[in-house]
Amino acid sequence: MAGMRGRGRPRHDDVLTPTEWRVVHAIQHGMSNREIAARRGISIDAVKYHVANAVAKLGVANRQALRRWFREPRGSALAAEERSMTTLNLGPLAQISRTVRDIKESEAWYGKTLGLKHLYTFGSFAFFDCGGTRLYLSATDKPGPESILYLRVGDIRSAYETLRARGVEFGEAPHMIHRHADGTEEWLAHFNDPEGRPLGILAQVRP
């Protein structure tokens, strides 16, 4: 392994490098190589390189298997958090998502016209507080899915394992979608109800 590292590149005591972790979590979030490259500001070839490294290091068969592989990055807030031994308790509703055509137009309408408190905007994503439930708007030219309900959980690892044991099929393993300035991590995993309507479990993990 050591011989494969470039000169001057720092050693990592985790199974993946920080960049590989970010790429893997983006893949688990359903992003394409092109989308990851644009989001990370790197080339598509660089994304392919990191994906190939991750697949080889983890011993998984392919990109699809990578989506279902789960482990917390060493040093993350989730890895440091003790596992919950309590019974699964889904809720309250943490977030609901909606696709929009124009993020600036929607940001103004939801914020100024409706008077919802604007939390933050990242590129084509905008977030508002709707009476304690977060409203997540994402701009897209493609017809989006119906609104997704995100249920808050205290321990996403235990919730994921419990729901899988009950027969719930997840589209991907829990993955970190954002780390706030104060170090708080947001972890997410999607699944469908019997009619194929999307839901998710969402956890905020503080350092």
Q: Give me the domain span that covers residue 34.
A: 12-69
pLDDT at position 196 is: 84
Q: Find, among 141, 132, 52, 51, the residue nearest to 103 by Cα.
A: 141
Q: State the DSSP H helix or E strand holding residue 95, giving kind and residue range, or none if neither.
A: strand 93-100
pLDDT at position 89 is: 82
**The amino acid at 162:** T
Q: For tokens 């990851």, what's the residue?
A: 36
pLDDT at position 166 is: 92
Phi-psi sector, 189: left (phi>0), alpha (psi -120 to 50), beta: beta
- Any domain includes 1: no
Question: Which CA distances in Å does 118 have to 97, 128, 140, 180, 185?
Answer: 15, 5, 20, 16, 20
- Any domain includes 39: yes
Q: Tens place of pLDDT for every residue, the chain, 207 residues?
A: 344 444 445 566 899 999 999 999 999 999 999 999 998 999 999 999 999 999 999 999 999 999 999 999 999 999 999 887 778 888 789 999 988 889 999 999 999 998 999 999 988 899 999 989 999 999 888 766 678 889 999 999 999 999 999 999 999 999 999 999 999 999 999 999 877 888 999 999 999
The Cα–Cα gap between 67 and 89 comes to 25
> Do 76 and 178 meet the contact criterion of CB atoms below 8 Å apart?
no
- Any domain includes 176: yes
- Any domain includes 76: no
- Any domain includes 86: no
Residues 101, 61, single domain; the answer is: no
| CATH number (domain holding residue 97) | 3.10.180.10
- Any domain includes 81: no
pLDDT at position 11 is: 61
pLDDT at position 144 is: 64
pLDDT at position 86 is: 73
Write down how long the chain is: 207
> 152 pairs with which residues across the strands?
202
Decide the pairing of beta strands 93-100 and 148-152. Answer: antiparallel
